[in-house]
Chains A and B, each alone.
Chain A
Amino acid sequence: NAGVTQTPKFRVLKTGQSMTLLCAQDMNHEYMYWYRQDPGMGLRLIHYSVGEGTTAKGEVPDGYNVSRLKKQNFLLGLESAAPSQTSVYFCATELGTRLETQYFGPGTRLLVL
């Protein structure tokens, strides 16, 4: 089992470009999350999903969109990248019993020039 995988691992964008980050899980978990991690700030929740077809805003949703068309995939989109979105992005999943262990992917490092 691969667990939680993220694609790509690293990406450089120019300001204004768009891209989609993919999170895939093979654990049949209901809940999925997108976080960003910046130096000295811990993890901040961008968007999350409690089931296929549902999404909700987290703490820092501006500039991002998400979709959960299939249970196993959670996509994070940047429509018009800004330098402030330079960060490391982590996807996480949870079984769906509420607030139990979250399982994290390896991260995507994004640099916006």
Chain B
Amino acid sequence: SQQGEEDPQALSIQEGENATMNCSYKTSINNLQWYRQNSGRGLVHLILIRSNEREKHSGRLRVTLDTSKKSSSLLITASRAADTASYFCATDDDYKLSFGAGTTVTVRA
């Protein structure tokens, strides 16, 4: 079963704007990851945040984690056309990861 649920399903923004997407999950986690998938490609790892962390940055990416609300958010600042992709959150489940259905982000020039 899919543990993570991303919201919104799709997002369209202008180049230079920020994009925010959210992930909610159901059971306790050790860590949460975000991945990006460009059209027709495999997933690429973006960032991992552990359950004892509240915020993490990587370049133009900012991830927050609220374990009390069982939710995480991914913020992409100053978006570029190359950020057009689907973004997935993944939560740990024993030896496995459980992926949500993803948020499709379109960055318009």
Contact = CB atoms under 8 A, between A and B. Distances in A.
Contacts of A44: 2, 99
Contacts of B95: 31, 48, 50, 56, 98-99
Given A43-B88, A59-B1, A107-B42, A102 B97 contact: yes
Q: Which of A43, A45, A90 has the most CB of B within 10 A?
A: A43
Contacts of A104: 42-44
Contact of B31 (A43, A59, A99, A103): A99
Interface string B36-68: 000011111100100000000000000000000
Given A45-B98, A100-B48, A101-B33, 13 more contacts: A35-B99, A40-B101, A43-B88, A44-B2, A45-B96, A50-B95, A59-B1, A90-B43, A92-B42, A92-B43, A99-B97, A102-B43, A104-B43
